[in-house]
Amino acid sequence: MNFIDILQAGVASGTVLLFATVGELLAERSGVLNLGVEGMMLIGAMSAYSIGVRLDDPWLGVLVAMIVAGLLSQIHAFISIGLQADQVVSGLALTFVGTGVSLVLGEGLSKSGAVSLLPSWSVPGLSAIPFLGPIFFTNQSVLVYVGYLLIPLTWYFINRTRPGLHLRAVGEFPAAADALGINVFSMRYAYVFVGGMLAGLAGATISLAVSPGWFSELTTGGQGWIAVGLVIFAQWNPWRAAAGSYAFGALRRLILDIQGPTMLLGLRNPFYYEPRLGFFLQMIPYAFTIIVLVIGSRESMRKRIGAPAALGEPYIRGERGK
Amino acid sequence: MAEAVAKSRPMDLRIRLEPRLDEPPRWFPVVLSIAAIVVALIIGGIVIRAAGGDPLRSYAHIAKASFGSLGVLSDTIVKATPILLAALACSVAFRMRLWNIGAEGQFIMGAFGASAIVLGPVLPAETSRWIFIPVMALAGMAAGAAWGFIPGYLKAKLNVNEIISSLMLNYIAVAWVNFWIFAVWTEGGFQMSHTFPKAAWLPRLSDYAKSFPLFAGLTTHLGLLLGIIAAIILWIVIYRSRWGYEIRLIGDNPSAARYAGINIVRNTVLVMMVSGALAGLGGMSEVTGVVHRLQTSPINAGYGFTGIIVAWLAKLNPLVTIIVSILFGALILAGREIQPSGVPKMIQGIILVCLIASDFFLRYRVRVIRAASED
């Protein structure tokens, strides 16, 4: 078990969470809580893999996954923005629909043969940096590099551009944004769509790059929910979202790999000799999510950083805004 | 939304949406819910068709395989029992706008708590049935309540989002039970415990076939009665007690509740524990009434998630929940045999989507007016 290898694989597996988390972050910044991430990721993973199997074109698979998941997200957008229904229930419903439709359309997909995966590259020069080079820039899937670009771009977009300012306005004070001529409804539809596309990309990252294949609901195994939790931990900041995602990715890899070697840090590896301890290892990511939520909410109470003020509230024109 | 005007042809009529100012008539929500289910079945049929199935045959199969005879009706009720208890668990939490998505985990922990009485063993196998059943029910409820306490306490004291924390606890519950049945209570290396002694089984109708020949082969067990009693008690608590009034007030208007001096922190923890206890009772009923051994795969079949949909469809009314649970029991029972196997799950999701979409018509009225009269 090589520490650098685990971190390298952790970055790849953290990329899945990164896409999902950033997508949810954008939707929530516009004021729409979307609990359907798990369902959108599943439908993305299923459609990407399905296209990969049938047409043998992973790039087309990624594209289709993003579009399908984006379209699925519009169910939630229509119900919560257009019909002003409760966003929690609507998001849950989206997870049910996404999971169910993926299972129906993905029937028999797990038995299909190998697919060509997305290419992996090493970056010349950067990969030679000691320690960081092998972890971040050696033999990583192309989507991992897309993830690196996404973090600063999202931050810059939200905090330094005019559309980003509009996004924040819509999430914090939609009535004021509306009065300034910003179309609150279409902005929210658009950001839910972007969130859906990124969740679909996260799904495609699983099924075509990180752990290829279609294993029905186990393909995502609750990562969509972890992403929703990470957004709260990240306090709606892309940099913190990235840090959380990569940390979780590394944790997931560590749990998988720790049961392999007979020796651990010069001692007999308890996880190798006592496989029953593996069940407790399986709990760690989920327990860690709860711990991370506790840390996040304590910190935001202390620093008085809150969720976007209008998060979860449907905007109804003519009603008094907050 | 009043501007959302659509033109329809050939006559020059317009459809206009306007907010409802008065309460809709009492029959209207019922008709609306039924219409939503019909629309959901149509949409589901389209997806089944797209996946290469025959929707009409699938639906006919569901109806026949779940209500076709007394025997299958009894099986439907057996499936409805865990759903009923899980849905009651969800409805009490949702009433306070606490989003307990962890009924699934609380259900599994309830099954674990009840099983621990037999497998521990806390009570010897020769114990009388009438001691076993109440002790197992209490243990299941206690384990479920403990699992509900965690997100409740974190929400009340630390403002931790209960949706995520309760959901994460589902995965932890599955791993926890897997550990016990694999490492401690394993039966010959398989991931299951040994079968419980007969005294720890909930009595079934078929046990009384000697006195009532009609009951021969019927699997409906005492859990149904537990569920109905729980529903009635919950209805009385929610609608007729002071505590129920507090819960409803917190759900409808938390700041008014706070000004009225209602202790929100205490109620959050309590309601999550009651919710967990109901789900735990569901787990106990499933493990002692159907499975008769501790094993994860038939117990974590998603009853906790179906409970969310059922609670919502029943508009959080415990008595209506009984009827809706039976419908969903039918869907799940018959759904096991139809292909593709994800169909019941998908239809549940589509039903929930149509249902919340239909709530729009409770708040808005659709009027068809002549174009001329509008100008």
- pLDDT tens figures, A38-93: 999 999 999 999 999 888 899 999 999 999 999 999 999 999 999 988 899 899 99
* Tokens describing residue A170: 């819509």
CB contact under 8 A, B51 and A107: yes
DSSP symbol at B124: -
pLDDT at B173: 96
Region B154-177: what's the mean pLDDT? 93
Find out whether B178 and A279 touch, Cβ atoms under 8 Å: yes
Q: Shortest Cα distance from A41 to chain B (angstroms)? A: 16
Which pTM does this prediction carry?
Answer: 0.90
- pLDDT tens figures, B63-104: 888 888 888 899 999 999 999 999 999 999 999 999 999 999
pLDDT at A12: 93
Q: Shortest Cα distance from A194 to chain B (angstroms)? A: 21
Region B173-196: what's the mean pLDDT? 89
For residue A238, pLDDT beyond 90? yes
Closest partner CB to B182 (pick from A104, A226, A276):
A276
pLDDT at B8: 45
For residue B7, pLDDT beyond 60? no
Q: Who wins on pLDDT, B24 or A120?
A: A120
pLDDT at B211: 84
Closest partner CB to A83 (pick from B99, B171, B357):
B357
* Tokens describing residue A93: 């419903």
Q: Is B24 exposed, middle or buried (0-12, 13-18, 19+ CB in 10 A)?
A: middle
Four-residue CA torsion sign, A192, A195, A200, A201: positive
pLDDT at A50: 93
- pLDDT tens figures, A250-302: 998 888 888 777 777 777 777 777 778 888 998 999 999 999 999 888 887 78
Model ipTM? 0.89
- State the Cα–Cα distance between residues B95 and B90, nearest whole angstrom: 8
Which chain B residues are closer than 8 Å to A89 by Cβ?
A: 312, 352, 356
- pLDDT tens figures, B297-342: 888 888 999 999 899 989 999 999 999 999 999 988 887 776 667 7
CB contact under 8 A, B352 and A105: no
pLDDT at B339: 64
Q: Best of B149, B353, B362, B364 to disrupt the A interface by mutation (most A CBs within 10 Å)?
A: B353
Region A175-195: what's the mean pLDDT? 95
For residue A10, pLDDT beyond 50? yes
CB contact under 8 A, A289 and B340: no
Q: Who wins on pLDDT, B243 or B18?
A: B243
pLDDT at B169: 96
For residue B165, pLDDT beyond 60? yes
Closest partner CB to A103 (pick from B163, B342, B360):
B342
Closest partner CB to B179 (pick from A93, A106, A280):
A280
CB contact under 8 A, A279 and B47: no
Closest chain B residue by Cα to residue A223: B168
Q: What is the number of other CB atoms lying within 10 angstroms of the CB of residue B70?
A: 13
pLDDT-based confidence at residue A321 (cuts at 50, 70, 90): very low
Mean pLDDT of chain A: 90
pLDDT-based confidence at residue B10 (cuts at 50, 70, 90): low
pLDDT at B374: 47
pLDDT at B371: 61
Long-range contacts of B296-301 (CB under 8 A, 24+ apart): B296/B108, B296/B174, B296/B177, B296/B178, B296/B181, B296/B191, B299/B107, B299/B108, B299/B111, B299/B177, B300/B104, B300/B107, B300/B108, B300/B174, B301/B332
pLDDT at A128: 85
Closest partner CB to B158 (pick from A97, A225, A297):
A297
CB contact under 8 A, A287 and B168: yes
* Tokens describing residue B97: 């706008």
- pLDDT tens figures, A145-155: 999 999 999 99
Closest chain B residue by Cα to residue A95: B349
With left for phi above 0 and alpha for psi between -120 and 50, is residue A49 left, alpha or beta? alpha
**For chain B, where are the E strands, in sequence order?**
6-8, 13-19, 364-370
Q: Best of A38, A83, A178 to disrupt the B interface by mutation (most B CBs within 10 Å)?
A: A83
For residue A134, pLDDT beyond 50? yes
CB contact under 8 A, B308 and A92: yes
For residue B227, pLDDT beyond 60? yes
CB contact under 8 A, A104 and B343: yes
> B161 CB contacts (<8 Å, ≥6 apart)?
A229, A232, A293, A297, B155
Q: Who wins on pLDDT, A58 or B5?
A: A58
pLDDT at A313: 85
Q: Shortest Cα distance from B128 to chain A (angstroms)? A: 34
